[in-house]
Amino acid sequence: MPSATLPRFDLTGWGREDIANPYPVYQRYRQAAAVHEGARDGATPGTFYVFSYDEVVQVLSSSRFGRGRSVDAAATSVPVPAEQRALRAIVENWLVFMDPPRHTELRSLLGKEFSPRIVTALRPRIAQIARELLARLGGQQEIDLVEGFAAPLPILVISELLGIPKERHAWLRANAVALQEASTARARRGADGYARAEAAAQEFTDYFREQVRLRRGSDRDDLITILVHARDRGAPLSVDGIVGTCVHLLTAGHETTTNSLAKAVLALRAHPEVLDELRGARELPSDAIEEFLRYDPPVQAVTRWAHQDTSLGGHDVPRGSRVVALLGSANRDPERFPRPDVLDVHRPADRHLGFGLGIHYCLGATLARAEIEIGLRALLDGVPTLSHGAQQVDYADDMVFHGPERLVLDTSDTTARPATTHRHPAEDRQR
């Protein structure tokens, strides 16, 4: 039961201030109970919201919870209406919505392509892309760090992995944004959100089906070719599976890295002493990147389904119940993280949940960390006014994929101190 002073929790209908800073809301619920039951519709199993670290870990790591409504379901529970056929066909083939054994097979196939070795080799190219994006913003009185930097950076990187030509990058960005309109929180604003996402899904389907056809017999070494060759050798991949995987890699990496970069900038602007410290460092410590991901993670909530009757945080959770693990709340749980509301870039590395946990731990986490580190380094070096002047921040109305959709900075403040340019040692070795 909810506390007498707290309404039933829900991830929709939030005010703008609470969307921008949800952590006081989480704190109130977490202090009252580790788990809260949402509104129930008759005899249908309800929704349980999980706020504390230990219980979130339990949900993410236990086989009692999965992505499908039941362990014996033929298809996973995809949050897309059946009439959105192109969108549903794509999302049904996303790794994040799969349970074993299908999940295990696909993740094993993709894992080697996102290994630390592959990411290390990409670092100089990521740094070059970051510099090119900043160069395009030069001379502007106002810059939108989301539109001009944080959003295109991961799209350009994953496009190179997939082997997508430069002339398609603006199209990719537009369709990736349109697909976001089908997220569970945003789609409730109106049917046109699903319509835009469906149109984008159809365009993606047509494009990547053609790319699959062109890659047959090709000797290219991009990720689409690798997937096509794996299918030809007997891997359990359909053409729709390859299409869905390409779109998933494109959109998932785009959303998480974009949000992480934008929110790290906001955290630095709110903590100028940390900004000065990191700007003066030759390399950004890995602990600092982990702290940004803990302090304000890019994904605030993930959904699982109870595969059996179970107990969680003092609640009896019936089989078939929806269970929402609040990663943002767990990352601020004082039982796990001392002084959780403090941004401490020297905090010893600990197992935060910014990239999830268990079999669905973010496949691209190593790449995302590299993009965040290199992207922040480029901003610290290339935007002297990063800590100065006015800002305009507009958050998306989304409590799942959480972050600003606009972050406009005034770069006309001539009192800003000049930045010191640093290169990562890996770049030096490439020269």
pLDDT digits (tens, 9 = 90+) for 268-307: 999 999 999 999 998 898 999 999 999 999 999 999 999 9
Phi, psi of 324 (to 5 degrees): -105, 115
- Report residue 78's pLDDT band, with 50, 70 and 90 as the boundaries: low
Average pLDDT value for the chain:
84
Question: What is the per-residue pLDDT across 12-28, written as a single tens digit (0 to 9) for each?
Answer: 889 999 999 999 999 99
Percent of the chain topping pLDDT 90: 48
Residue 410 pLDDT exceeds 70: yes
Q: Is 288 exposed, middle or buried (0-12, 13-18, 19+ CB in 10 A)?
A: buried
Cα-based distances in Å from 162 to 159, 243, 362: 5, 11, 18
Residue 425 pLDDT exceeds 50: no
The two tokens of residue 397 are: 């109305």
- Report residue 97's pLDDT band, with 50, 70 and 90 as the boundaries: low
Does residue 419 form part of some domain? yes
Region of poorest pLDDT, from 34-43, 75-84, 243-252, 399-408:
75-84
Q: How many domains does the chain have?
A: 1
Does residue 283 form part of some domain? yes
Tell me the average pLDDT across 128-140.
91
Nearest to 300 by CA among 329, 260, 321, 323: 329
Does residue 1 form part of some domain? no
Most confident residue range from 42-56, 110-124, 258-272: 258-272
Question: What is the per-residue pLDDT across 184-227, written as a single tens digit (0 to 9) for each?
Answer: 555 444 557 778 888 998 999 999 999 999 998 888 888 898 88
Residue 331 pLDDT exceeds 90: yes
CATH of the domain at 100: 1.10.630.10
Residue 29 pLDDT exceeds 90: yes
DSSP per residue, 331-360: TT-TTTSSSTTS--TTSPP----TT--GGG
Residue 287: which domain range?
A: 16-430
What end-to-end distance do the CA atoms of the chain give, in Å? 62
Does residue 57 form part of some domain? yes
Cα-based distances in Å from 287 to 52, 214, 356: 23, 43, 17
Cα-based distances in Å from 116 to 122, 285, 328, 366: 10, 17, 26, 6
pLDDT of residue 232: 84
Nearest to 329 by CA among 61, 60, 51: 51
Does residue 190 form part of some domain? yes
Give the other-Cβ count within 10 Å of 287's Cβ: 14
Does residue 155 form part of some domain? yes
pLDDT of residue 161: 86
Q: Are 8 and 1 in contact (CB under 8 A)?
A: no
Question: What is the per-residue pLDDT across 53-70, written as a single tens digit (0 to 9) for each?
Answer: 999 999 999 989 987 765
The whole-angstrom separation of Cα 362 and Cα 59 is: 16
Does residue 3 form part of some domain? no
Integer-rounded Cα radius of gyration of the chain: 22
The whole-angstrom separation of Cα 374 and Cα 378 is: 6
The two tokens of residue 105 are: 């097979």
Residue 426 CB contacts under 8 Å (≥ 6 apart), including other chains: 120, 123, 124
Nearest to 91 by CA among 244, 242, 237, 296: 244
**Is the dihedral angle over the CA atoms 334, 335, 337, 338 positive or is it negative?**
positive
- Report residue 98's pLDDT band, with 50, 70 and 90 as the boundaries: low
Does residue 56 form part of some domain? yes
